[in-house]
Structure 1
Amino acid sequence: MSDTLNERLNKIMPRITSDEFLSGSGIGNEIAFYIFDYPPEDELRVRDFLRTLLEHIPKQRPDLRVKHVNLFDFVLEYLRSRNLLDKAIQMQREKGDEALQKALAGPLHESKLGPLFADAAQPDQHDLVIVSGVGSVWPLLRSHTLLNNLHAVMGQTPLVMFYPGRYDGQSLRLFGKLKNNNYYRAFKLVP
């Protein structure tokens, strides 16, 4: 893992536990969405870091109510609850990825998942929502369109998305290669 990434990871805990960050100070009337982008080849290291971060937040800020949502687990649970998971696995085996993606486009449409995400994240009962699993759930779920559908449901609760790719403040590039539509409503968590 690069020294630069280590330096950036080390800035996360003080940033997300600060009163300024949690209150949304300094962002005007913008939505409190933040992206922590990182090289996709460092995914496993970032996952380890995230586990450690989630363990240490209660030790540093016992009063801070944090919810972690892994998008891959979220989608699996949703498909399971609709009795679609086994059918989806079967379809993928028999007809391939393209057919599966087309079949799940309706059930996994971001406009439907936005309110379900809010039910899972419960932003009104938490001070911070952390999102991971972006790369694992692609291409079934596109992070930029999900974010667009979360504006109305997150309220003032800050959301931090760990993103395996690049975010330049204007657009997201998943895995550093796949350009999504422009998304400029989030802030970089740390430079």
Structure 2
Amino acid sequence: MNEQLQKRLNKVPDIILSDEFLNKNGLAGDLCFWIFDYAPEHELQVRDYLKFLDGMISDKHDALKVVHVNLLEDMITYLKDRKLLERAFDLQRKKGDAALIKAMKGPLHMDKFVPFLLKHHNIQSQNLVLFSGVGSVWPLLRAHNLLNSLHADLGHIPLVLFYPGEYTGKDLTLFNRIPSNNYYRAFKLISE
């Protein structure tokens, strides 16, 4: 277990469950999007922590409407619902990753996937939204595309993206190796 990361994770509940955070105080009209970045080699520690956080919120803050969106689980559900999951597996086996990525561009386009997420989790009626699984769905889904697509629908709801990589305050670098298109409309949840 990485102790420095654990100290940062232990600060998360006090921040995201505070009235100031949930009521978007001090944002001066900015979006309520936050990014908790971490070294990708600590992914399993963050996953364990998110399980703890989910349980703690449901036990101690049951009046608060919080949804945790695991992008991998939701992508699988979405593809199953559209009867595309097995076809995607077959395509990858027969023609490889590049063919799969090309074939999934249409079905996983944000104009289709974001409405699924909104409806599937009733996100627009939540007090807080937590996103994880970014690294597990790359390169089929990209964090900056997702966040940009959620602006119009969720700009008023606090959203925290747990990101396996670095967020400088304007640039995302997945796995500390793959730069994304600039994303500048989110705040860093907790600095190092």
**What residue in structure 1 maps to residue 83 of structure 2?**
83
What is residue 60 of structure 2 aligned with on the other side? 60
Could you list the structure 1 runs, at least 4 aligned residues long, displaced by more than 3 angstroms after superposition. none
* CA drift at 1:117: 1.8
Q: CA RMSD in A?
A: 1.1
Count of equivalent residues: 191
Q: Is the 8 A contact 2:170 2:182 kept in 1?
A: yes
- Paired with 2:43 and 2:166, the residues of 1 have a C-alpha distance of 13
Partner amino acid, structure 2, of 1:173: T
TM-score normalized with structure 1 length: 0.96
CA–CA separation in structure 2 for the residues paired with 1:69 and 1:112 = 16
Does the alignment pair 1:148 with 2:148?
A: yes
Contact 1:172/1:182 (<8 A) preserved: yes
Structure-2 separation of matches of 1:83 and 1:59: 36
How far the C-alpha of 1:2 sits from its partner, in A, is 2.8
Deviation at 1:18, TM superposition (A): 0.3
What code does the residue aligned with 2:122 have?
Q
1:3-23: CA deviation from partner (whole Å, max 9, x where unpaired): 221111010010011000001
- TM-score using structure 2 length: 0.96
Deviations 1:69-121 (A, max 9, x none): 10011111111111111100000000000000001111111222222221123
For 2:155 and 2:180, locate their aligned partners in 1 and report how far apart those are by CA, in whole Å: 25
Query: What's the % identity of the aligned pairs?
Result: 51
In 2, Cα distance between the equivalents of 1:157 and 1:107? 26
Deviation at 1:155, TM superposition (A): 4.5
Q: CA deviation at 1:176?
A: 0.7
Report SS of the residue matched to 2:152.
coil
Matches within 5 A, 1:131-146: 131-146=131-146
Q: Tell whether the 8 Å contact from 2:35 to 2:188 is kept in structure 1 after alignment.
A: yes
